[in-house]
Structure 1
Amino acid sequence: MEKKKRIEVVIPCYNEEECIPLIYQSIHEVAKKLPEYQVSILYVDDGSGDASFAKIKEVSERADENEVHYISFARNFGKEAAIYAGLKNSTADYIALMDADLQHPPELLLEMVKGIEEGYECCGARRVNRNGEPPIRSAFSRLFYSMATKMTSTKMEQGTTDYRLMSRKFVDAVLAIGEKNRFTKGIFAWVGFDTKWIEYENVERAAGNTKWSFSGLLRYAVNGFMSFATAPLRGAIYLGFIVMIVALVYGIYIALNMLISGGVKSGYSSIMFAILFIGSIIILLLGIIGEYLARIYMEVKNRPIYIAKAEKLDENTEMKD
């Protein structure tokens, strides 16, 4: 009898105690419609402060053998670390990435599997709208993707999500990028490969509240932008040229004014404006350079992306607490 190919669904979790049993049940039902595959779940608990880890262990204990695996972090390392840990520790033939709140409809896995069987290395989900989302958040999201595409060499499609099914070849390519400050959406786009997009309507959370604040999303966007864009550093050169040209034009104006009027005005206001203008530009540029230096500093430290306090990865791995 031919051995079934394995699909593992990686689910990063942070304070999602209400959603954990719901997402398990939904995936369990979808798995029944994929009899030719062995479907399992890998929960990655990102240092939750609620009962998420207890719920994960509870689900694991009542699930079928080798159906539910998990990793629990020693503290909150962030979603990017959770995604990396899930991809790194899964040995399945195909790996899916899905949020725990059921905003990524598990039923789409059926279409994703068809896409993989057609020969695609990756099959991803793309939202066609943002119904139920604050307008300002939607506007900033569209602005981010537009700027990221124009100012980097990586094309990131509007509406794309982390939700996708990937081949082992695709995941290995993603893991080969060993940087510590990770922006997975950008990495997914950067590695290339043929990707089939499946469009879907935005779905509300099944339970609980979002853990993303506007400031958190803004920091996430800035980190993602700086992970792939060198445009700010290159823009500093262009800005320097612009300021130099403005200074030369102003200098010529002063010289001509002296020749025509035969005198020199004190120009206190204009001098103060020039000092403050140039000073603010210098501080801005130092801030941009500082951000890039901070990322270099963190990379050089070579700290681990995450630290696990407990894990259950497959039937041959003992649970460690």
Structure 2
Amino acid sequence: MTGAPPSPANFADLETIDPDTLTAQLVDLLTVERIENDSYRGKPQVDGIGRVFGGQVIAQALQAAQATIGDGKEAHSLHAYFLRGGEEGPPIDYAIARDFDGRSFANRRAVASQDGTPILNLTASFQTPEDGLAHENMPFPHVPSPEDLKSDHQLRREIFADKLDQMSESQRHFMLRPRPIEMRPVDGLHWMETRPREPKSQTWFKTVGRLPDDPALHRAVIAYASDYTLLGTAAIAHGLSWMRNELVGASLDHAVWFHAPARADEWLLYDTDSPWSGNGRGYNRGRIFSEGGTLIASVAQEGMMRKRRERK
């Protein structure tokens, strides 16, 4: 959706936004352009404001790396380090290094840059699918089905409906703009809570519309969505929130292991927890399940997490 952010008067009109349009915009965002051999360019977010969403840079870097793999291999893991915050607006360039091409495995490095300055390094490993010893020792969480939960968008609409006229234009834009990923949190909007509790969270997610039948794109969308909710899990233990401007933080690194193929336009459960925080950092883990209970992917992320000092 383009144009100015919705005003309180037309808040309800957000329900009528075409899901297929939002999904097409996400596909376009994650479709990188080949500039020359092993050099690609990613588009900026439509109506993006402030810093670039980290999941976008991860997903575009993965797409650029996947574009150089042409022999049937599939990404099974990625490891990314955030170097600097990217700025919304300018395109992001991705330089790919072909470090290894074997019969079963391959490896690629991607450096994401804006105006010649690196903002992220990503390494991705690829494997030719094969049968092997298999086990799965990660029980599916007992949570309500997505059909029984309200979406993140609905919760925002209910909680902030009477506060919209007190918000700045950028705040309204952030709260109200439609998103291509629908999220249905099991435990509500945890970033609204002020009571410290066990740092765990579960959220169902999928794209709002149907995606093309491209497994590489579905992996990229899952990598994109894996950056949602994860960093805030560590803050739950302290009853603090970035949304209330109580913390200063940024993602430091992000890793994803893809265990099984999945469609990102069908419900997936993101189960996150935070075993540790300290030294100005918070460590977070995530497990992504299909609605049928199959473990699809595992995620880990560490981020800078500092309590904001009050100004005298």
Q: TM-score range by the shorter chain?
A: under 0.3
Q: Which has the larger radius of gyration?
A: 1
* TM-score, normalised with respect to structure 1: 0.23
Give the structure-2-normalised TM-score: 0.23
Higher helix share: 1
